[in-house]
Amino acid sequence: MKRKPWAALAALLALMLMLAACGGQSGGGANGGDTVPAGEGGASAEGGKADPVTIRFSWWGSGPRHEATLAAIEKYMELNPYVKVEAEYMGFDGYSKKLATQFAGDSAPDLFQYVNSFNDQLGDYLMDLKQAEIDTSTFPESALRDFATYEDKLIFIPTGQDTFGAIYNEAFFEKHGIPQDKSWTWDSLIEIGKKVHETDPDDYLLTADIDVIEREIIIPYVTQRTGKIWINDDFTPNFTEQDLEGAYSYLLQLYENGVMEPFGNSTAFVGKMEQNPKWVNGEIGMLFDYAGAFGKYEQSVSGASISIGPFPEHPDAKQSANPITAGTGFAINDSSKVKEETAKLLDWLVNDPEAAVILNTQRGIPASGKALEALGASGQLKPEIKAAVEYAGTRTALPITVLSDNASIRVAHEDAIQKVIYKKLTPQQGAAEAMANIKEKLEELKAEAR
């Protein structure tokens, strides 16, 4: 396997250092670990006696995901007392930077949560899981082919399937007379959100961090109208400056009409909006996120009923821009000294019925048929999540390709969006700058791909 030169990875690290703030808290587990050298760990050939094995396992998420994953680890170690799993967990902010730093320093964990937008940077350093003893027979073939395959290698096992939804507070809707079965358009968000804020200046219909603004407002606003994927496979943008200018003008209307919480207040909660005091206190009515994240929003608002509604669409939308995705999963470090035992743990996490019930939907609705059946039988699959995915499945949607979700392109785009929000650029100027930035990044990626 041809790997990227370390100089290229160093450049990546420089980029990621700019990309990610130093948020999040690390969980337990030493960075260095005490991984058992090759051939020393795992089940012994003599009498089934097993030698101790240590597996380092890292992931990102919030409290409920951490708690569920730690509980699953405890169960696995109970079932396999010769295995010690060292947990390393944090928020998403800074996760990719930390992972890239660990790979550059040859200290990456054995098993880790992965998303296919990391492919260009880390895909070459992952084990081909076709070589591992992992049961992939119950996974949708499209999930493995369209999301988890990189250069003919199966580089991660999807942990869930998911889709965007409008997660809302039922009491807030009742207070402002908003029907719970409301089918949102982008224009109706402004119409109703303006009334909400005029009725109670402390209340906002929406909140969003910069990632959500770029991924779940600007891009869908454009691609629902164009009916095209965001970035072509030939490294060219599939939208115009005029498309961007229109979306940026719409975004400013959300702020100027009091529909969306001021950006300066919400930006402190990137990737952890469930901790936003205005959401916790019931002063935010709705936010956009993956349906699988429903649990953390439900748990963060004590005593309130939280639900999920359809994602907004233009009345004349050519596609929903809200496909069912399976781009997140677990990957194994190709340099791990305990790949065989790590693969056993991975297989247990994604396929075992007991693990499915413990992990619930903290990483989306299980992509494994075995896990999905077990979770459904347990009665723990929330109907709101199931309904959101089923609704998305009824809508025509183009896939979110890896290139369209590339981290460096997204950062280049987000930089221009923030300048528009802070009125440093007009929507027209912002669109011009964003287009230039995105094209520059695409040329860099194209050169790296040659």
Residue 300 CA, chain-centre distance (Å), reads 19
Is it the case that residue 44 has pLDDT exceeding 70? Answer: no
Q: What is the mean pLDDT of residues 361-365?
A: 85
Give pLDDT tens digits for 290-326.
Answer: 888 888 899 899 888 999 998 999 999 999 998 888 8
Quote the pLDDT of residue 25. 37
Mean pLDDT, the chain, whole residue set: 87
Nearby residues of 414 by Cβ (< 8 Å), 6 or more positions away: 210, 211, 213, 214
Give pLDDT tens digits for 131-180.
Answer: 999 999 988 787 888 889 999 999 999 998 888 999 999 999 999 999 99
Quote the pLDDT of residue 48. 57
Is it the case that residue 32 has pLDDT exceeding 50? Answer: no
Give pLDDT tens digits for 245-272.
Answer: 999 999 999 999 999 999 999 999 998 9
Residue 25 CA, chain-centre distance (Å), reads 18
| Tokens linked to 82 | 């010769």
Confidence of residue 34 (pLDDT cuts 50, 70, 90): very low
What is the Cα–Cα distance from 138 to 143, expressed in whole angstroms? 11
| Tokens linked to 35 | 């991984």
DSSP state of 132: S
- Looking at per-residue pLDDT, the higher value among 86 and 30 belongs to 86
Is it the case that residue 2 has pLDDT exceeding 70? Answer: no
Half-sphere exposure of 343 (CA within 13 A, CB side): 19
pTM as predicted: 0.70
Nearby residues of 366 by Cβ (< 8 Å), 6 or more positions away: 159, 160, 161, 350, 356, 359, 372, 375
Quote the pLDDT of residue 24. 35
Quote the pLDDT of residue 201. 98
Quote the pLDDT of residue 193. 98
Give pLDDT tens digits for 83-136.
Answer: 999 999 999 888 988 999 999 999 999 999 999 888 878 999 999 999 999 999
Is it the case that residue 38 has pLDDT exceeding 60? Answer: no
Confidence of residue 196 (pLDDT cuts 50, 70, 90): very high
